[in-house]
Chains A and B, each alone.
Chain A
């Protein structure tokens, strides 16, 4: 199950190559191979086109004037090119409750996602370190239990967690995590991210050579020094991979936001606003196209900018089960 790319083995077994070629007339072989690979390439290109066109159509449409978007298909831009930024100005500009006001929601998304990711990483890494290098009874059992918590679907935790926030966690009438602020979202996202964070970071931190940690301990370093000075710097690749994932999950989340945000321009993330716009004005394509693109801008930038970490994290995550 390793993902080590295999190098061309022709170098390893040059003689095999010769035997094979001598078996059949070379031209026939070459033609056959080219045909299969041509069919495969054609199929691959078709798939790639089908997979790309929906996003491309949305992107092109977001720059077309309103009348054009509603009047005819986006493929008409190839014959009738009209370019405008009006849609983006419209969705981003602050305004009354009638306007999409996406600028505000965009800021909300950032304000939810950045702390949500940092909290999960720090708390997860602390626990992962103890599970990897601490010595106490019941460690393995506890670790498996935490891992198993991934089974619990988000949906199961929502109702009681909301009740907890509004009815239990308060001093007098003052809620510890007030409704209609980011606080509930931060806590909820951190909790839901922890099981996977602990598991993945543990796997990485456990691989750090024991001598490094032993040496620091001999020098009199305690757990906190070892954690901040050795573990965190060495675990940076794993933290980056998981951090990117957590960032994208939180950015793209809708369910947690719907339950905990209250829905106003003060707190709700851009995904929630976009979902609202779809429901209330599903035909306003000039707003939806531009709005959708604003909302996927950051994930796409993260994706294309950090694709290597992204794929690495995916392989670690995908193979975790």
Chain B
């Protein structure tokens, strides 16, 4: 109880300080001399956000870029960190894994999400069916890690299995398997977790898009005698193309940054590491901030084209509208 009271007090004090700061800003903004009022108001409203962003994102991003050219002692070493990344076997495995993640997760999560959205469209109990698949979105990656480590749990062949997947293997007369330890296929079992989480996102967005298709188009296709599959291929897909691209790119960005799943399920061991996890390991565990920064920079360069593509698409759509 004492503990809660003390922590609660910290929160209350912080909120009070924050309210005081905002209050002072509002006061200054209102009391400013008439001639400069407009300017003071603009600065007062924008300053908190811009200062925080400059200090917390812009400066760090530049600093990280510089750090990536230094070694553990802070000395400038040119491209050595990048050479390390693209030549060392462990680092190469990390890059390979990241590529596998980025190809499989958006592809499978979007396809399953789309299929599911089509299947349950206008079905009875659509809402409940949606909620079931959507639910993993609310669960933290750490929580998902526990859930799936339990699904993959391994016991020797002579003992009763406690993991569902191994039990199913046993039911079919197979021997149980160490799903998270056996490289290289263990990466795929981690990827399954991410797909499990992201499918709900794809499903909800695509379902909304499908419901937005003008029914005249669907009726016209049906009139022409199009089968369900033809309708899906020639009507549904082209009409929701925009949403589909947004879903794929959003999941791609999320997948590139994936950290928690790998961290909690294998800690990046047994050849399962990915760039975002390796970045943390190098910078905060191995005492190599230079290498960590280089990995972060590579991550940035991988995310960049996806976001730029997305932004351009968004602008085109705005123009059309």
Contact = CB atoms under 8 A, between A and B. Distances in A.
Given A44-B120, A58-B147, A151-B304, A303 B163 contact: no
Contacts of A69: 162
Interface in A249-269: 251-255, 258-259
Contact of B151 (A57, A153, A156, A318): A57
B71 interface: no
A85 interface: no
B140 A296 contact: yes
Interface residues of A, number: 130
A213 interface: no
B250 interface: yes
Given A57-B150, A254-B140, A153 B56 contact: no
A156 B296 contact: yes
Contact of A104 (B3, B41, B209): B3
B105 interface: no
Given A279-B267, A321-B246, A16 B219 contact: yes
Chain A CB count within 10 A is highest, among B56, B164, B200, B246, for B56
Interface in B193-231: 196, 199-201, 204-205, 208-209, 211-216, 218-219, 222-223, 225, 228
B307 A198 contact: no
Contacts of B45: 126-127, 129-130, 134, 223, 227
B142 A275 contact: yes
A94 interface: yes
B139 A222 contact: no
Contacts of B11: 111, 114-115, 182
B57 interface: yes
B317 interface: yes
Interface residues of B, number: 125
Contacts of B218: 9
B93 to A, nearest CB: 19
A275 B277 CA distance: 14
Contact of B307 (A72, A223, A318, A321): A321
B263 A275 contact: yes
Given A1-B209, A51-B135, A319-B205, 19 more contacts: A13-B216, A36-B228, A37-B123, A54-B150, A54-B164, A57-B151, A71-B160, A115-B11, A115-B15, A126-B49, A127-B46, A149-B57, A156-B60, A161-B60, A182-B14, A253-B140, A254-B260, A278-B149, A278-B265
Interface of A: 1-9, 12-13, 16, 19-20, 23, 36-37, 40-41, 43-45, 47-48, 51-55, 57-58, 61, 69-75, 94, 104, 107-108, 111, 114-115, 118-119, 122-124, 126-127, 129-131, 134-136, 146-161, 163-164, 181-183, 186-188, 190-192, 194-195, 198, 222-225, 227-228, 248, 251-255, 258-259, 271, 274-275, 278-279, 282, 285, 288-289, 291-292, 295-296, 299-300, 302-304, 307, 310-311, 314-315, 318-321
